Structure 1
Amino acid sequence: MSYQSVFNATATAIKGGAVPLAAPIEGQQSIMATVLCCNCGVPIDGTSGLSMCYDCIKLSVDITEGIQRESTLNFCRNCERFLRPPNQWTVAQLESRELLALCLKRLKGLSKVRLIDASFIWTEPHSRRIKVKLTVQGEAFVNTIIQQSFEVEYIVVATQCPDCAKSFTANTWRATVQIRQKVPHKRTFFYLEQLILKHNAHRDTISIQETKDGLDFFYSQKNHAVKMLDFLSAVAPIRTKTSSELISMDTHTSVRSYKFTYSVELVPICKDDLVCLPKKLARASGNISQLVLCSRIGNSVHLVDPATLDMTDLQPTTYWRTPFTTLNTSANLTEFIVLDIELTGLTKGKLALADATIARSSDMGRNDNTYYVRTHLGGILHPGDTVLGYFLSNVNFNHELWDTLDQRNVPDVVLVKKSYPRRKKNKGRNWKLRRMAKEYNEMEDQGNSMSSKQRQLEADKVERDYELFLQELEEDPELRGTINLYKQGNSQNSNVQKTRVSGMEGVETAEPAAEPEEDYEMSGVDKMETDNHVDNEEDDDEEAEGESLPDIGLEELLDEIDELTLEDGYHSD
């Protein structure tokens, strides 16, 4: 048999499986075929079909080609919002998730690769530069995925958003809410201001103006004003009147543009006011006595009879059907000394009925005139305490409802609340309040043609009202619980410290805070003008203050304002 025939037969047998191939020797590892990298000479897998190693591919191939390395961000200096294309302006804090999402959307070509990670690189806040480090994956060759990182720099370009541009021109608002209350003080608005700030109800305002009798809120849209009305009706007894004015009309499309004005009037009854109800209304309110005290103000007026602890809620709609004025206000409170007190055993909530023997502070050392009264403050009064009340003995009010009372049943004194020593002016408070940065209505001022002396007197009166409001916060834990109070920080003696917040507010230092509770009171912050109170010894005052004035713990105060206003957008001009 020839050599060629043997070779053909062997090949045929191997192909048919008759002759097995040589098996690898037991214990011997199979050797993978390798080639050298054409760039650095490192051995690589020869079966992959690549001529370069992974590191050399990363150095020689750029998968980020076509992705922007520089971009711009439009930023409005007035409202401190960023432009989200095409025409949406949004609030985004530095190094926040919102700002990172905005930066990524501004990059062109990022959709060609897979984004793995993105993070901010710290830059100087005033440099107007924002740097972002990106890590992406992409295909360099067929079946070859590599990962690379690069930096993108954004230039913050200052511009002006359309809303701010409109706010600097005349007649740009489309709706206004005018809040008024016919009382001789502004303590109601001080408290209402704190409620608005706590619930951030002023967020959509484009301007806030302070007038002699109240506040005006201006809005660019009607629905924003309606939201404010809903908030006011939930926290205060009000009535609303609406008016509209036609600005322009397109005769071709019949499209009209209106301005809407909402006039809001608060019920002119404040906390601690003495109220004389009409007979018909008193009978309809559970047959309560006509002579009652206003205990607090919510979305209704809460009244209490200090002689029986009977309570009733006066709804705004009921009041406006038969409006009446208060008999006496907290500005006319008189100071008394508690000589003796005896509980009757009747209690309702925090109120306890008691019989008290009292004497006027001005009569101490002059005569022996004492008064035996029934009061609802039995739970907090003790012999030796000072208490404020209305002195009704030998008094005659020029009030039509006063004449309807049976004078034989009118008490000599109606006690209102316990009195505490006043705080020294040079003694700082450990807390502060936020304040709204309001504009003053100069047109109204020009119309009144007030002299500089009259303006100064008016400013002093507002300052006194504000101080009385702060004193009320010190003494009333229930009132403090409805608003936010902040830690004073290092500058305890400073009275005003303003910072721009959300374009419309500022931060003003106020003073002491107190224990949180459920219900809140409207203004009526008792105007304690204790003309008869004699405190001549400063040392004794300070000791008494430390013993009697309620302490305000740090647990009742929130942290510094610049750490808490991020939801509004913290702004520093």
Structure 2
Amino acid sequence: MMPGSAPPPAAGSGMFVPTQTAGTVLCCMCGVSMQPNPANMCARCLRARVDITEGVPRHAAVVYCPDCTSYLQPPRSWLRAGPESPELLQILLRRLKHPLARLRVSLSGAEFVFSEPHSKRLRLKLRLRREVLNGIVLEQTHPVEFTVHDRLCDSCARAQANPDQWVAVVQLRQHVPHRRTFLYLEQLLIKHGQAALAIRVASAPGGLDFFFGSRSHAARLVDFLGTVAPIQTNTAKQLVSHDTKSFIYNYKYTFSVEICPICREDLIALSPKASRDLGGLGPLVLCIKVTNAIALLDPLTLRVHHLEEKKYRVYNFKAALTSKQLVEYMVLDIEQESPEITVDGSRYQLAYAQVARMSDFGKNDTVFTVRTHLGHLLSPGDLALGYDLYGANMNDDDMDKALLRQTLPEVILVKKSYEKRPRTRRWKLKRLPIEEDLGNKAKGEEDKRADEYSKFILELERDPEMRFNVNLYKDEDYRSEMASTIGDDVPTVPIEELIEDLSLGDDEEDEEEEDSAPAGMVE
């Protein structure tokens, strides 16, 4: 306040206080009252005389490969993108980059507008901005429609012309009588997109064959397999053709990948040398986890040892009993021996249990008292799966040596069993497009694979750690009233772990366009 000036009137003094209002002017074209701007024109008149979208194309074309779902990025690169994905939006906006730069129009926003999935049209709604008439900035929406032209990319065209025209193949094998490992690896490959570059995937005796159009793509798959499973790899190449003048050689590469034959829940009898080198582990151990190393658990002491693939090849032991030889038992009584502990991320508790084979009920009164690591899971009346060493007929040298060293338990329990009830599930899995050799398929192979797949589904429901590495998708056809009633203790998959399956055209968006006006006048 300046010296000598009067102080402002106090509130409630009764003096009149003028309020400040925004000044308005008349439009120089139509005379409408408006807020002043450098052009002295209202939004309607300015829009009628200036069109910032003039020269911006409303129609364009994009090339799409239907086999590998990739789009052509001129001049020769192909980029993979899903429907209405950020990657696809970036590809389409690149087609409009030069026209917008030539017209000095900036892009302030872009979004997809719904179009039918089979219409071969992609529609965008752009929001453009440009400075006009004495510094006035106009914003205006502009629709662009892209016509999708189908054309095979170079690698897919070669594969269609000759399916055997591959450059590298990965022959993945495991010498076990089941396909549990390949069902799990299939989900890992889908989640991480490692098999997306394969020209085709073919079923083979004992495994799968992945054909690639580039050696680097096959090598990438082999590197990924080495991080998720203990493997042994051999490589070979065969000369196809060469040019003596330019010294250009064309080869076909073969990667032979063998997965360790030890699987989860296998019972292993360690040799005296292996048991001694592993710190007195065993001699009977269970395989509880298989990653790039094998996790072996002594069920009587809760000791765990991780065996890498190179060290496994030194001992090269086999599974004495596999999961196909599990026997179902009824738990009659159980007594905890020690408190519950966590070993290698999993919970265990030593306990003594009295069990009887389900097949013996009504025939004899044979009861076994065993020591188990499942004391935290089992209660009297529960069912459990285990290995019957009392009546098993095994032809294993290491098992015979173990019998000479000490008295082995009559039963080794492996996991809790749940009552089998048919029910529908609210989730589903994606599968790889595997080519089956129908001519060489054995009789009953289809039923065997269906049974293995159903057991794999049950294993996913039971093991949360296993589900963590797999993508489970919501089944849109699931109806809760069709699901049968199951017990409270039967494991199920929480709905929070499910992923929405991407589908185009589920919800139709509104196509309202906003009127263009000077910046500061548009909401």
TM range (shorter): 0.7 to 0.9
Identity %: 39
Q: Distance in 2 between matches of 1:301 and 1:286?
A: 16
CA gap 1:548/1:145 in 2 versus in 1, 3 angstroms? closer
Residue deviations 1:339-362, cap 9 Å, x none? 222222265421111222222222
Q: Report the counterpart of residue 178 of structure 2 in structure 1.
A: 185
Q: Answer whether contact 1:245 1:260 (CA < 8 A) is retained.
A: yes
Instruction: Structure 1: state its 5+ residue gaps.
Output: 1-35, 44-49, 496-510, 512-541, 565-573
Q: Report the counterpart of residue 518 of structure 2 in structure 1.
A: none
Amino acid at match of 1:289: G
Q: Distance in 2 between matches of 1:77 and 1:283?
A: 58
Q: Answer whether contact 1:272 1:295 (CA < 8 A) is retained.
A: yes
Q: Report the counterpart of residue 491 of structure 2 in structure 1.
A: 550
SS in 2 for 1:89: strand
Q: Answer whether contact 2:231 2:260 (CA < 8 A) is retained.
A: yes
Q: Distance in 2 between matches of 1:275 and 1:362?
A: 25
Q: Is residue 2:429 matched to residue 1:438?
A: no
Q: Is residue 2:513 matched to residue 1:559?
A: no
Amino acid at match of 1:179: L
How far residue 240 of structure 1 moved from its aligned partner, in angstroms, is: 0.9
TM-score with structure 2 length normalisation? 0.78
Q: Report the counterpart of residue 523 of structure 1 in structure 2.
A: none
SS in 2 for 1:168: helix
How far residue 472 of structure 1 moved from its aligned partner, in angstroms, is: 1.9
Q: Report the counterpart of residue 470 of structure 2 in structure 1.
A: 483
Q: Answer whether contact 2:170 2:210 (CA < 8 A) is retained.
A: yes
Q: Report the counterpart of residue 194 of structure 2 in structure 1.
A: 201
CA gap 1:279/1:348 in 2 versus in 1, 3 angstroms? farther
Map 1:319-330 onto structure 2 (within 5 A).
319-330=312-323
How far residue 458 of structure 1 moved from its aligned partner, in angstroms, is: 0.6
Q: Report the counterpart of residue 76 of structure 2 in structure 1.
A: 87
Q: Report the counterpart of residue 508 of structure 1 in structure 2.
A: none
Amino acid at match of 1:257: N
Residue deviations 1:209-242, cap 9 Å, x none? 2223111222222222222122211111111111
Q: Report the counterpart of residue 460 of structure 1 in structure 2.
A: 447
Q: Is residue 2:156 matched to residue 1:164?
A: yes
Q: Report the counterpart of residue 389 of structure 1 in structure 2.
A: 386
How far residue 303 of structure 1 moved from its aligned partner, in angstroms, is: 1.2
How far residue 124 of structure 1 moved from its aligned partner, in angstroms, is: 3.0
How far residue 94 of structure 1 moved from its aligned partner, in angstroms, is: 5.3
SS in 2 for 1:562: coil
1:472 to 440, 456, 459: 459
Q: Answer whether contact 1:58 1:146 (CA < 8 A) is retained.
A: no
Q: Distance in 2 between matches of 1:328 and 1:236?
A: 21
How far residue 114 of structure 1 moved from its aligned partner, in angstroms, is: 2.7
Instruction: Structure 2: state its 5+ residue gaps.
Output: 1-26, 33-38, 505-523
Map 1:234-245 onto structure 2 (within 5 A).
234-245=227-238
How far residue 481 of structure 1 moved from its aligned partner, in angstroms, is: 3.1
The answer to which of 290-299 and 405-414 deviates more is 405-414
1:155 to 134, 137, 147: 147
How far residue 165 of structure 1 moved from its aligned partner, in angstroms, is: 0.9
Q: Report the counterpart of residue 263 of structure 1 in structure 2.
A: 256
Task: Report the structure number with the largest CA radius of gyration.
Answer: 1
CA gap 1:192/1:341 in 2 versus in 1, 3 angstroms? same
SS in 2 for 1:176: strand
Q: Report the counterpart of residue 409 of structure 1 in structure 2.
A: 407
Q: Answer whether contact 1:241 1:262 (CA < 8 A) is retained.
A: yes
SS in 2 for 1:380: coil
Amino acid at match of 2:366: N
Q: Answer whether contact 1:345 1:352 (CA < 8 A) is retained.
A: yes
CA gap 1:553/1:253 in 2 versus in 1, 3 angstroms? same
Residue deviations 1:516-567, cap 9 Å, x none? xxxxxxxxxxxxxxxxxxxxxxxxxx88x51442243322x31331269xxx
The answer to which of 113-122 and 471-480 deviates more is 113-122
CA gap 1:333/1:157 in 2 versus in 1, 3 angstroms? closer
1:278 to 266, 271, 274: 271
Amino acid at match of 2:424: G
Tell me the C-alpha RMSD between the 2 structures: 3.5
1:122 to 100, 113, 119: 113
Residue deviations 1:84-127, cap 9 Å, x none? 21112223455555444444443454323232545457363344
Q: How many residues align structurally? A: 465
CA gap 1:114/1:319 in 2 versus in 1, 3 angstroms? same
SS in 2 for 1:471: helix
CA gap 1:268/1:105 in 2 versus in 1, 3 angstroms? closer
Residue deviations 1:251-272, cap 9 Å, x none? 1121222222111111111111
Amino acid at match of 2:271: P
SS in 2 for 1:341: strand
Q: Answer whether contact 1:286 1:312 (CA < 8 A) is retained.
A: no
The answer to which of 469-478 and 235-244 deviates more is 469-478
SS in 2 for 1:389: strand
Q: Answer whether contact 2:64 2:152 (CA < 8 A) is retained.
A: yes
Q: Report the counterpart of residue 501 of structure 1 in structure 2.
A: none
How far residue 365 of structure 1 moved from its aligned partner, in angstroms, is: 3.3
CA gap 1:485/1:145 in 2 versus in 1, 3 angstroms? closer
